[in-house]
Structure 1
Amino acid sequence: MADSSNPFFSPSTLPYQLPPFADIRDEHYRPAFERGFAEQLAEVEAITANPEAPTFENTMIALERSGQTLQRVAEVFFNKSSSDSTDFTNALEEEMAPRLAAHQDAIRLNPDLYRRIDDLYGRRDELGLDAESRYLIERYRTEFTLAGAGLSDDDKARLREYNQRLSTLTTRFEKNLLADTNELAVVFDSAEELAGLGPGELSAAAEAARERGLDGKYVVTLVLPTGHPWLATLTDRSVRERIMTASRARGIRGGDNDNRPLVLEITRLRAERARLLGFDTHAAFVTADETARTPQAVADMLGRLAPPAARNARAEQADLSEQLDTAGGSATVEAWDWAYLAGKVRAAKYDVDLAAMRPYFEAERVLRDGVFYAATRLYGITFEERTDLVAYHPEARVFEVRNEDGSALGLYILDLYTRDSKRGGAWMNPLVAQSDLLGTPTVVVNNLNVPKPAPGSPTLLTYDETNTLFHEFGHALHGLFARVTYPKFAGTNVFRDFVEFPSQVNEMWMLWPEIVEHYAVHHETGERMPQELIDRLHASESFNEGFATSEYLAAALLDQAWHSITADDTVADVAAFEADALAAVGLDNPAVPPRYASTYFAHTFSGGYDAGYYSYIWSEVLDADTVEWFKENGGLTRENGDRFRRRLLGVGGAKDPLEAYRDFRGRDAVIEPLLKRRGLDG
């Protein structure tokens, strides 16, 4: 294919090197992958064939410059396969996943390249490097060593087999989950069955049915977590049970989409690979290169939190039982009752009805007058929608982001709505990653899964969806603000158990007085959300945290349990393993199921959080401590924003994250603010 005919063969000429989505066709992807693989291997071969002694320039700089074609196609393709998949992308991803794993192994397991990096590592004190360049050598040497660069040839061959097979299995897990999630969407015949939903939610359910050719019916599409947000308002208990049952059935019904065999094979192969690499378990392998360092450190923290969380959940359950008795029917609180009854208890205790807040969370106002406005107040940046720039899907919107002085910062793309072709959850990823070395700017994407109402109806976000938008935008800011020399450190390329920290911090602005009063406006009356409602909401912040913490910890500990098995252990029954793992930590309450069960636990079996789902609460220690810092230092000020941007967000991955945190905070984080936030301080 001629260079001019494939958009991936050269950098985009669009603003900020935005990929030319209007020109990209399915037939462009495979040739670009093929060329990308060949180019980078040739570039690495040129490094190792260089007869000169290793230098930072002829080894590290050359390695950082390699693979640009592959990077361009991979960023675009994997974003599309996650947010707008087709039969073509599904098939190509299954084909390319093992090939990409093999390609990465060809580089990381290259003995000549490893020797050059190791030589530079041994002489790093003599090279006169700046801090980022020195850190680059250290990171490559650590990652190559952990990846198996020092193994024998026979062991490397086995390792390649493990990596390629695992890439195939995790890709298949994601495809099975998407297919089963779509198949298990719950169909209802009438709006009366969905009593409790607002007009916007009913409109979204009707639109989902229409898109499936079920005009006149209503479809409740499933979300990634166990609990659907609409369970909080649906009044018919049997309807809530149908939705919860469908959610929990994903991946366990047999047939082509059964994920149980994949879970067993993935965890077995990960354990065998860990032993080959010199670790007892996959958890030990993963945490060795995270801030936690050991599974025991993770276990100590989660073990400290689990007992009080379970205790608080039981106390909350007793309150819910009283509401269930009042409402009639069985006195046993089931998983599908919790959100609905918790809403009743919250209303009785605090006079707070989260569902009644939806009219104040119209999506466009939340975005422009909330999320963007907070970023402008804190960092001075501005946003302008670029309708002249085409994104990868008609619903994805492109915004140009500039610094206060008008200088260019990057592009931000928001893809808000759910669709059958989009995987569940919410996430951020780069399309173009900033690097001074390569002269590349920044383009980042946020994907959410908000049900889309019928044309002409407003998009009203739930409280949780509003919080999620602020959260994911925190990731986007991390990607936009990072200013690094080397591509390896671009954006959110930090340790997995640190990456959630900036996004969690950004959640604080959702209810910050100057922000919430600016965007929380009733979409019909124009009235601002009453301050007394916000005050009551703050007063209820620790309400239901026993449940929230327990369901999260159940998933985090389940992830750790799966990845704490050794290569000699035999697991044959997914459900039995889950039950035993939850019972062992006292989180086996049927009314509080894990946020994700194994067969739809995308984070750990297809999303890169394997043995790392603990990262959310691990990062939340830093987040809660940072919120205290902002409160102690005047809150939403440009001075505070500039400090946080310069010392943390702007660093990207170019510095040890805990060192960057100490530079920002003046000390290490303490856990007490987290315990207080979650009601675990006794």
Structure 2
Amino acid sequence: MTRPPLMIIAASLAVTSFAWTAPARAALPGSNPFAKASTLPFNYPVFDKIRIEHFAPAFAEGMRSEAAEVNTIANNRKPATFENTVVAMERSGKLLDRVSGAFSILGAGNSNDAIKALELTLAPKRAAHRDAISLNQKLFERIESLYLRRDKLGLDAESAFLLERYHKDFIRAGARLNGADKSKLKAYNAELAGLQATFSQNVQGEAKAAALVVDSRAELDGMTEAAIDAAAANASKNGLEGKFMLAVTNTTGQAAMAVLTKRAVRQRLQELSMGRGSRGGKFDNTGVVLRIARLRAERAALLGYPNHAAYSLDDQTAKDTGTVNTLLAGLVKPAVANARKEAADIQTVIDAGHGGFQLAAHDWAFYSDKVRAERFQFDQSALRPYFELNNVLTKGVFYAAGQLYGITFKERKDLPVYDPDMRVFDVIDADGKPLAIFVADLYARPNKRGGAWANAYVAQSRLLGTHPVIGNHLNIPKPAAGEPTLLTYDELRTLFHEFGHALHGMFSDVTYPRFAGTAVPRDYVEFPSQVNEMWSLWPDVLANYARHYKTGEPMPKELLDKVIGSKQFNEGYRTTENLASSILDQRWHQLDAAHIPTDVLAFEAAALKDAGVDFAPVPPRYRSTYFSHVFSGSYSAGYYGYLWSEKLDADTVDWFKENGGLSRKNGDHFRKTLLSKGGTIDAMQMYRNFRGRDATIEPLLERRGLTAK
């Protein structure tokens, strides 16, 4: 398909984008909720009516009807025009958009065995359907004929850019291949679709198998009583009455590492986390990783690229592997040097306590908090009583958005949700008109994908007359009944981050669905969300939400000063773990097919050593076998994008500070020049329109403590 593929943005992750509008024809029975557009406000999905048995027939009819619509466009006997070809394509496939969008939302947020089975069945069929459109020769000839005379069509800027994108999308999808090579490409795409679904399901499936199970409360010493009670309830729910179960989240590091006092327990948790996908058995991903890497390399060669990374980066703002390699290599030496200094400080604390052991990865979080406490006279746990979830969301995240953009939020209880903990809000624009609907699905569940992400349940489009419905999805551990949800600082920052994606979707003001919201290059999409993190510790915002959950007292100024003063603390660790994952991603995807290894873990170890990031106390944030961003998501050869986007983010934070910070004037400028534009213009030109110049890297280096200063 020429529209962007269905994506989820993570913190993690890219945005699911589909419009809940009427299809050209609906051959489904009226009892199927996908047969017609939702009549709920803003075409909000009818989650209360959707059942698993509705998906298969809706997918079948959706693919059939879109294929018929596309064939009508391709075989139109009238000469190609922008309206009867490109605009017609933008209007096509709405039934399939509806069912694909709902399936993606539920598959990530509320999965079950039936959904997983259907996902595996559908993956190659959906890939074949997309290929049938992208490789339709008559359709491509119509698009190319328009592209070749694009300067004579009198198109407005957005329409002209849409035509350019369609042309490039088709070429990158293989439109210029001969018949035999198109058949090869279809086979690659079908197999890859199935393998990526398998990888994702293995990661999710092993989350339970990798959970830490202990026999006694004493083994969880350091955790709060409420957290231990929740671990007991989790074990009981999984048939382990009398035991305690800690779920493993998708990253290598686990939050409990910072508080568990028993070193042997921390070590077990670390080993369970790092071994995921590589221990053999039904969830082993080593063979899946190798096959995906080979197929991607072979497909890239077929399309005329030296490797998959070169293919992927050709459509990103970084443009080529040399640019990305230079960025990553330039950060390695100062990042690892900082991490080693941090490790030395931690070892001093260990030695002072007569620990008699060498710092290991499972010790870092626990003892770095002691270094923080000694250096800044506080530990992170002192923050949590001031970070109660509802306060952070309504008086922090929403408050900052109101100050910047003039928008307000009103919770509503009448729209259906697929989990009772979800919350739904109307978003009202500064002029008093409804702007969007925001959905908050914030708690972890066993049947929910790990990490955090945002997605568009409905994407904005003037052409289709649709308004945005945007969801944020996190995995905050749900406390025991009656206990407050107190966030860690990382969870706080993630909440602000994901809402940055939500703002990008809610402020979208574009004509064509191809460009809605976060439909921008992958190495640019994290930038607006990273900018939104700055408001989490902005004094005016913090003062509005950071109040003790029991007393209502504001966070003491001296504690806030310590938080701000320690912002660069542990940046060597954070930068190194991200660099290691980014480098692994590039090393896998800069291979040609002749050099695909046979041993995943050996290749990984050699790649990290060669790059200079093989520092055992700081493992990669994701190892290959559970690196969902790149082996099942849309970030293949693109994980560097977080660092690439942070360059823009840090430069933008400087702009806000230089211009007075939290103000409507600044927010309106950011919204007008950037957040509302979606993918309608070149991303870096969009940044220049906002900033008045290109971004510089110095603010990023200073933020991460990578300068001499």
> What band does the TM-score fall into relative to the shorter chain?
over 0.9
Within-5 A mapping of 1:19-418: 19-418=45-444
In the alignment, which residue of structure 1 is the partner of 2:543? 517
- Which structure has more relative contact order (CA 8 Å, sep 6+)? It is 2
Deviation per residue, 1:562-616 (Å, 9 max, x gap): 0010022131000110011001111001111000000000101001100000000
- In 2, distance between residues paired with 1:38 and 1:388? 34
3-state DSSP of counterpart to 2:474? strand
Task: Name structure 1 gaps, 5 residues minimum.
Answer: none
3-state DSSP of counterpart to 2:486? coil
Alignment check: 8 A CA contact 1:200 1:460 kept: no
Alignment check: 8 A CA contact 1:207 1:453 kept: no
Measured after TM superposition, the shift of residue 284 of structure 1 is 0.1
- In 2, distance between residues paired with 1:17 and 1:465? 31
Instruction: Report the residue type matching 1:631 in the other structure.
Output: K
- In 2, distance between residues paired with 1:214 and 1:327? 36
2:515 paired residue among 489, 500, 503? 489
Deviation per residue, 1:412-468 (Å, 9 max, x gap): 111111111011100011111111111111111111111111111111111100110
Measured after TM superposition, the shift of residue 356 of structure 1 is 1.4
Inter-CA distance 84–47: structure 2 relative to 1 (3 Å threshold): same
3-state DSSP of counterpart to 1:6? coil
Alignment check: 8 A CA contact 1:390 1:398 kept: no
3-state DSSP of counterpart to 1:648? helix
Alignment check: 8 A CA contact 1:425 1:449 kept: yes
Q: What is the alpha-carbon root mean square deviation over aligned residues?
A: 1.0
Measured after TM superposition, the shift of residue 676 of structure 1 is 0.1
Moved more, 194-203 or 382-391: 194-203
- In 2, distance between residues paired with 1:205 and 1:615? 35
- In 2, distance between residues paired with 1:212 and 1:331? 35
Measured after TM superposition, the shift of residue 214 of structure 1 is 3.0
Deviation per residue, 1:461-515 (Å, 9 max, x gap): 1110011010011111111111110010011111000000011000000000010
Task: Name structure 2 gaps, 5 residues minimum.
Answer: 1-26
Moved more, 199-208 or 591-600: 199-208
Within-5 A mapping of 1:523-672: 523-672=549-698
Alignment check: 8 A CA contact 2:227 2:480 kept: no
- In 2, distance between residues paired with 1:35 and 1:330? 66
3-state DSSP of counterpart to 2:630? helix
- In 2, distance between residues paired with 1:656 and 1:199? 52
Alignment check: 8 A CA contact 1:490 1:652 kept: yes
Instruction: Report the residue type matching 1:400 in the other structure.
Output: D
Inter-CA distance 199–407: structure 2 relative to 1 (3 Å threshold): farther
Deviation per residue, 1:267-302 (Å, 9 max, x gap): 010000000000001000000000000011000111
Q: How many residues align?
A: 682
Instruction: Report the residue type matching 1:559 in the other structure.
Output: D
Alignment check: 8 A CA contact 2:407 2:430 kept: yes
Instruction: Report the residue type matching 2:390 in the other structure.
Output: E
Instruction: Report the residue type matching 1:673 in the other structure.
Output: P
2:453 paired residue among 409, 414, 427? 427
Alignment check: 8 A CA contact 1:200 1:458 kept: no
Deviation per residue, 1:307-337 (Å, 9 max, x gap): 1101111111111111111233333100000
Measured after TM superposition, the shift of residue 200 of structure 1 is 3.9
- In 1, distance between residues paired with 2:127 and 2:361? 40
3-state DSSP of counterpart to 1:410? strand
In the alignment, which residue of structure 1 is the partner of 2:7? none
Instruction: Report the residue type matching 1:298 in the other structure.
Output: V
- In 2, distance between residues paired with 1:578 and 1:117? 43
Alignment check: 8 A CA contact 2:212 2:245 kept: yes
Alignment check: 8 A CA contact 1:109 1:149 kept: yes
- In 2, distance between residues paired with 1:534 and 1:223? 29
Measured after TM superposition, the shift of residue 189 of structure 1 is 2.3
Alignment check: 8 A CA contact 2:290 2:596 kept: no
3-state DSSP of counterpart to 1:133? helix
Share of identical aligned residues, percent?
A: 54
- In 2, distance between residues paired with 1:482 and 1:518? 28
Instruction: Report the residue type matching 1:677 in the other structure.
Output: R
- In 2, distance between residues paired with 1:516 and 1:395? 25
Runs of 4+ in 1 over 6 A off after TM superposition: none
Inter-CA distance 248–63: structure 2 relative to 1 (3 Å threshold): same
Instruction: Report the residue type matching 1:618 in the other structure.
Output: W
3-state DSSP of counterpart to 1:92? helix
In the alignment, which residue of structure 2 is the partner of 1:455? 481
2:467 is the alignment partner of 1:445? no
Measured after TM superposition, the shift of residue 2 of structure 1 is 4.5
- In 2, distance between residues paired with 1:356 and 1:234? 16
